[in-house]
Structure 1
């Protein structure tokens, strides 16, 4: 593991007029680490994720990313083309609704293959072979390679979206409620799959979820947000087993009562 953080976030804030999206957030993310950002709806966790992934420009603050050449670059000082290239190659973004992260009218194989073409692969046979291997890896039968995602179940679409994101070997993956809207049994399989892939590939990930069970299963560290502020931050097991803030205690106890 590198002795340098992959991501350095300092005093990040996003305001919508007088309304706080997120306020004064600072943390480091290390290579191979999974950070969960948890909180109720409206807590600011999705705004924070969108700022970190440059989908939203923050009002103030900075995010420095450790590039493959060993240099840190401030994300918001990059040009649009540079950021887009980063998002196609070194990063992944898994949407809650897989239709937002897939092209629904092209084949499953083409969805995975497009990312490979974005990093310069032009050999059709090799692209198809790699796409086939990744479908297998995310538990989609390879005989579905020419089927379109609109013919897939919700769980299969989410697994396809994960394959599309991971095929280029990214170092950082953002996940926005990755199990939202899926049946409990489908969620469990998907979480097992994600946890295995993150470990195997040594990925760093930032996972936004309102589900503390998802946070416990996937993350090493956890930030709890309320009204746009991070109110508690620590190792996941410590936060869940010994929450210090009354709000976190309430979140944990409400899960236990379900």
Structure 2
């Protein structure tokens, strides 16, 4: 499979996540635009990716960033994610950003993540100290995933050994420990030459089609904009992602810094 990224703003590769119980769908080998799509055709490749990170401490250069809402600690997904992450002894660091917490709920969050074997930093985005920091740097009051992620990337920059960050949501009910390795692998293996990786997976379940924002807003919007400016490289680049709103991605920290 070629990796022709000429004209791309960032070299990227969406990675397919196929659910364990999905045995009916055929892989779609279509390649479009400057973005390469890497398909998960063999479940055994997950074990191979995990093994790669144990060599020469490669995994110690990788940090996982988890932007969370405090309400997600009441669900079943986050404790399972913590349990799965506990198996990744190769992972260099975990950085958790928490929105909406008071002092008591933040302490509860710290207790949950204290189970992890990796060095872990838990960021309290609603603390008095963080509000003072926002005022000092001229940031208006507010919350949101983007701001949460921005702070966590800043924390990651404080650790000189971190070269790659992996980001995913905290409400994935089908989480597997291999998610982190599969996202980071195309970046940390220098032979592949990628700087940015985005998750891509089937957007349907027993209840029907999901991904309504992408289907009803993002794709029509991009198509309309491209029809008005067909030579715009940035629009063609965005349209090349198979699922642009996926919450799971990995990036070289230098790339994240350039757009943060």
Give the structure-1-normalised TM-score: 0.29
Decide which structure has greater strand share.
Answer: 1
